[in-house]
Amino acid sequence: MQVPEDGVLLRIFLGEDEKFDHLPLHEAIVLKAREMHLAGATVIRGPVGFGHSSRIHTTKLLRLSEDLPLVIEIVDRQDKIDAFLPELNRMMAGGLVTLEKVKVLRYGSR
């Protein structure tokens, strides 16, 4: 599958402890993206962060509940991202979702 030069970056911010259908939410999102044949998805785990609640989530040893921040990034064509958004909305109870236009310089092997 080829991604054109003009693409869209879908960025999803959520907590590590969030669930959907008995799966970690981040895993469910990646599986749904794969099922819908999006170009790819990457989950990035942050060592510290906070969201709308202003509660700090950290890897420090003194904390019992980490619930670390996660970011999922997906880049594909606008139409494919637009088709994915209703599914994402159905899966997420909260969190932050952003979109931005990107220039894809390379995708896949040469």
* Of 92 and 54, more confident: 92
The answer to whether residue 44 sits within a structural domain is yes
Tell me whether residue 1 is in a domain.
Answer: no
| Side chain identity at residue 46, one-letter code | G
Residue at 79 is within a domain:
yes
The DSSP bridge partners found for residue 7 are 102
**Is 108 inside any structural domain?**
no
Q: 110 in a domain, yes or no?
A: no
For position 43, which CATH number holds?
A: 3.30.70.120
In our burial notation (b when 16+ CB lie closer than 10 A, e otherwise), range 32-61 reads bbeeeebbebebeeeeebeeeeeeebbeee
- Residue 74 has which token pair? 């997906």
pTM: 0.84
Domain extent at residue 50 = 6-103
26-80 pLDDT per residue, tens: 999 999 999 999 999 999 998 776 666 656 656 555 555 567 889 999 999 999 9
Position 47 in a domain: yes
Per the structure, the count of domains in the chain is 1
